[in-house]
Amino acid sequence: MAVADTTTTTAQRNIAAAQAATQRTGSPQMKLDSPKEIQDRFLTLLIAQLQNQDPLSPMDNAQITQQMAQISTVQGISTLNDTMGQLLATQGSQAAQLIGRGVTLSGADLRLSGGTASGSMLLDGNANDVVVEVVGAGDLPVRTINLGAQTGGLLPFQWDGKNDNGAQMPDGNYSYKVTAKAGTFDIGVETFTAAKVLSVSLAATGPTLLLDNGQEVPVNAIKRIF
């Protein structure tokens, strides 16, 4: 139908003009992707579309509903991004309070500093023989520490930094292994690493902690703060 085609073409031209006018007259202080700008542009285009629609073929209610749903989705995403930004900022502020503090996390690293190092473990049950073996580079044995009989639960230990010959080892990164037995049965052991937080950085997934042993770990990896 010729009249309908002409009206439709005119409507399309008017919608394009309305869009261009909205972009030209937008406030220079407002970001183009701000929620208010998105909403204003959407409403301007929708009104122009309704005013210039073909009277013989008006816009379907389903089309209007679909467009309203689209703008709601855009606004929802924008609001979600703002909320996530605020959440990350809050987490970063809280994580910054950990700088300089000691923390423990899962692992078996030992940081020898000032001639001493500390670690801890969680015993699944009572043991009549617990042995800690400190190892250095290349997994070479450095010191064997016999802790004797221990009850189940959290068990901390200290290493004086000396090897089995009594010589002081240089400060640096070491690791340890634990053997726990009740008679001839092995007792389950979970080991922990102690470290100091040097700095905090923000990532899309949340705050990341830089530790004095060189590790970078997410804040939710921390088991204990001391």
Distance CA(153)–CA(113), nearest Å, equals 27
Residue 189 pLDDT > 90: yes
DSSP-based helix, strand, coil % in the chain, nearest 5: 35, 40, 25
In this structure, are residues 215 and 174 in contact, taking their beta carbons and an 8 Å threshold?
no
Q: Tell me the angle at which helices 35-51 and 61-96 cross, rounded to the nearest 10 degrees.
A: 180
CB 69 within 8 A of CB 190: no
**Per-residue DSSP letter, 78:** H
Give the model confidence (pLDDT) of 59-94 as tens digits.
Answer: 555 666 666 666 556 555 555 556 555 555 566 677
Segment 189-211 mean pLDDT: 88
Going by CATH, does the domain composed of 102-225 fall within 2.102.10.10? no
What's the CA gap between 97 and 103, in Å, rounded?
Answer: 12
Which has the closest alpha carbon to 176: 149, 150, 199, 144?
A: 144
pLDDT(106) > 90: yes
pLDDT of 1 over the 70 cut: no
CA distance linking residue 8 with residue 5, whole number of Å: 5
Query: 136 near 178, Cβ under 8 Å?
Result: no
Give the other-Cβ count within 10 Å of 91's Cβ: 16
Q: Which tens digit of pLDDT belongs to each residue from 42-65?
A: 667 766 766 665 555 555 556 666
Helix axes 2-25, 35-51, angle to 10 degrees: 160
Sketch the domain layout of the chain as residue ranges: 2-96, 102-225
